[in-house]
Amino acid sequence: MSETTPSPDARAEQATETESDAATPASDSAQAQAQAPAPAPARPRRELLAWRNAVFVIFLLSGLSIASWVARVPTVRDDLGLELDAVGYVIFGISAGSIIGLVCSALLLARLGARHGMVLSLSLVAAGLVLVGVGTTLVPSAPLVFFGLAVFGFGNGSVDVMMNVEGAASEKEIRKTLMPLMHAFFSFGTVVGAGLGALASALEVPVFWHLSIIAALIVAVAVVAVRFVPLREELGDDTHGAESHKPWRTRLRENLAVWGDVRLLLIGVIMLGMSFAEGSANDWLALAVVDGHGMDNTSGALIFGVFVTSMAIGRIIGGPVLDRFGRVPVLRVCATIGVLGLLLFILGSASWMLVLGTVLWGLGCALGFPVGMSAAADDPRRAAARVSAVAVIGYCAFLVGPPLLGVLGHAFGILNALLVLLALMVLAGLCAPAARERRAA
């Protein structure tokens, strides 16, 4: 059989075609890379740490404001001569304002951006504190105090969402679990606020001057802190001028669209169960010790102290534990020990059972809220809107849970009412897989 040898011209033509075919994919790839948007440059470590510390400060200011008010409630009651039921009606102003603030937080973020939104919200917190002081000391008036508490609640409700949005974003860029520690700073703020409030009460400082000083401090520190929060266009910050700035109505529609995400709603269920357990403990645990277990008021206060201490410890150590074991196993373990703690507290009779149950209760619900925030921020394109949505779910549980538990406690007894927390904790554990970390592509 004969073999045909290609001519030199044919070989040259084949080589040219081969080189052309080989170069085509590379050329297409280079063209695609040129057309693809460039990834956002990594921020310098100093800028990341400044951002993180600024969010720590915002969390602390929120806790400081709340504890400053709570510490002066007895003085406000005495100065206004209110009965216990009237105090309850006045305090309802905080709940009403907070719920409105939570609902409006998405609008404020879309309209103002995170920086201006947090300053405005904390300024409203400060204005509310001043109004409470005026209505207590200068012009004694329960309606004025109610209005001041509504303004205070609106500011705190909206800033709660914004600071969690910023906390989740900084956590993602730093690539280290920080949300539990950020919520621990809120606890630190409550400790500072309670201490200053106790000192003001002991020195018989009028409510107006005490809360006015705290208000001025909050505004001054907030204005400085937000300067270290980076501008981000997805939050409504104008980073490139008005021409490239997305209309706020468009951002608002995008923020509301995330409510159709089933996985996000399951993350919200986790936060609902854990937040319900935490918020109800803040309002009813001490009373459950007294009325449910027949112990004295001092014991109730001490056991409540055990709960908040357990919460703080759980959040301080939570970051490293989550980084090592992952969200789903940690949430399941937290739900399990939370259920065990509630069972011990509800069914126990000895003092050690109540204390141990309280410790497990606090550890069990310590990480639900911050982990939910981190999980909601896994989608970088819609992180702000997703975090805002689950924050609304979590904080509504804080606000709605305690009154609901009071109604059930009145009808069935406070210890029986706590069984609702147990059921929600089980539900949160079952929904834990929704918080699983997204794998990088």
Which CATH superfamily does the domain covering 46-232 fall into?
Answer: MFS general substrate transporter like domains (1.20.1250.20)
Distance CA 79, CA 73 (A): 10
pLDDT in tens, 255-299: 677 777 788 889 989 988 888 888 778 767 777 888 888 887 677
What phi and psi, each to the nearest 5 degrees, are found at residue 348? -70, 155
pLDDT in tens, 315-350: 888 888 988 899 999 999 999 999 999 999 999 888
Specify the pLDDT at position 439.
Answer: 60
Nearest to 354 by CA among 340, 363, 344, 362: 344
Specify the pLDDT at position 300.
Answer: 78
Distance CA 374, CA 180 (A): 10
Residue 433 has pLDDT above 80, yes or no: yes
Q: Can you tell me which residue has the tokens 């004025």?
A: 144
Question: According to the CATH classification, is domain 257-441 in 1.20.1250.20?
Answer: yes
Specify the pLDDT at position 4.
Answer: 44
Nearest to 193 by CA among 211, 171, 175: 211
Nearest to 108 by CA among 156, 116, 99, 128: 116
Distance CA 236, CA 252 (A): 10
Contacts of residue 182, defined as CB under 8 A and 6 or more positions apart, other chains included, come to 55, 56, 59, 163, 167, 370
> Please, are residues 362 and 309 in contact by the beta-carbon 8 Å criterion?
yes
Q: List, by residue range, all CATH 1.20.1250.20 domains of the chain.
A: 46-232, 257-441
Residue 362 has pLDDT above 80, yes or no: yes
Contacts of residue 441, defined as CB under 8 A and 6 or more positions apart, other chains included, come to none
Instruction: Sort 105 into a burial class: Cβ within 10 Å, 0-12 / 13-18 / 19+.
Output: buried
